[in-house]
Amino acid sequence: MHALVFFFFFSLGSGTNNNIIVSKDGSSGNYTTVGEAIANAPDLNPELYTIHVLAGIYEEYILIPPHKINIKLLGDGPNHTIILAHQNGSTIDIRGEGFMAQNMGFVNSAGLDASAAVAVRNEANNSVFFQCSIQGFQDTLWAVSGRQFYKNCDIYGTVDFIYGNAAAVFQDCMVYARYRQYVTFTAQSREDPYENTGFTFQRCNFSMSPEDEDRKSEVYATLGRPWRAYSTVAILQSYIDSMVDPKGWEEMPGQPTDKVTYVEFQNVGPGSNTYGRVDWPGVTLLTHPNQALPFTASYLLDADSWIPSRGVPYDNGL
């Protein structure tokens, strides 16, 4: 049995400021750039500080420093409010805990030839992305550290495009491979067996991006590879499309494969058959719900202690 938890408290306290507006054309708002609005947000604010970013394409590199905590970027939809960057580096770099983004698009258009096209670099503990689009190519989402929750998001990329050592749970997300001959969805980098980190994908969809669907047969994809020795990824109750090779997972040069934890549970789709999976000790098909519980939001994120205050629906179990 799983519990779908809904909360409708959109602040951390009654004093939340919801009147800050960013308008690209300057006609109706407090600021014309997102960076300016963040720079003028209060430091170490104990309450959620909402910045409403009106529809537009904002060509900026955004840094949210550690002293800017509890910042919420609220857009007009992920295809309408877009923060866009074009080069190596991060479109948005989040270091202040308690960050939240809702109805926002984050894009790095550096392209296939770039060594990295990070759209989101996130080391913010207790951070949430809800109904957002995160688009890049290689290294799209760098989930560096801390507890992170992604709900109803679309994430696009090519190589190792969800990577890092956060404890991150993705629920009801579309994980889109862009066209490239070889695609790797994840590169989780847990280094120590005693760390409580890893990536969990629950009710997600691993498929080709809509614009590249007709080239799916040309793509060889794997679900992930270990960036560090104790790399941990769980894929639960998800859809895995046909471009995912039967072996499922692949080696990372210079990293061992005998310490990873790569588990799958109740997945469907043409790529979900596990009979051809690599023969590594930690690659496992789970057969009982109790085996999957340690990878759920309640266990991995201690979700019930902080996600309710964000007003985001989530499953705390299976």
Query: Going residue by residue through the chain (318 aa), what tens digit of pLDDT does each one get?
Result: 445 554 433 333 334 455 799 999 988 889 999 999 999 999 999 999 999 999 999 999 999 999 999 999 999 999 999 999 988 789 999 999 999 999 999 999 987 777 788 999 999 999 999 999 999 999 999 999 999 999 999 999 999 999 999 999 999 999 999 999 999 999 999 999 999 999 999 999 999 999 999 999 999 999 999 999 999 999 999 999 999 999 999 999 999 999 999 999 999 999 999 999 999 999 999 999 999 999 999 999 999 999 999 999 999 999
- Placement of tokens 């770039």 in the chain: 114
User: In whole angstroms, what is the distance from residue 266 CA to residue 280 CA?
Assistant: 20
Residue 139 annotated in active site: yes
Taking alpha carbons only, the member of 261, 265, 266, 318 closest to residue 293 is: 318
Measured in degrees and rounded to the nearest 5, phi and psi for residue 42 equal -65, 145
User: In whole angstroms, what is the distance from residue 134 CA to residue 24 CA?
Assistant: 20
Residue 160 annotated in active site: yes
Query: How far is residue 77 from each of residues 8, 71, 277, measured CA to CA in Å?
Result: 19, 18, 38
CATH of domain 4-315: 2.160.20.10
Under a CB-based contact definition with an 8 Å cutoff, are residues 147 and 166 in contact?
yes
Q: Of these residues, 25, 43, 113, 160, which one is catalytic? A: 160
Structure tokens at 106: 């984050």
Q: Of these residues, 139, 154, 212, 245, which one is catalytic? A: 139
Long-range Cβ contacts of 143-150 (<8 Å, 24+ apart): 143/168, 143/199, 145/197, 146/97, 146/122, 147/300, 147/301, 147/302, 147/306, 148/122, 148/124, 148/301, 149/297, 149/301, 149/303, 149/307, 149/312, 149/314
The amino acid that residue 78 corresponds to is P
* pTM score: 0.94
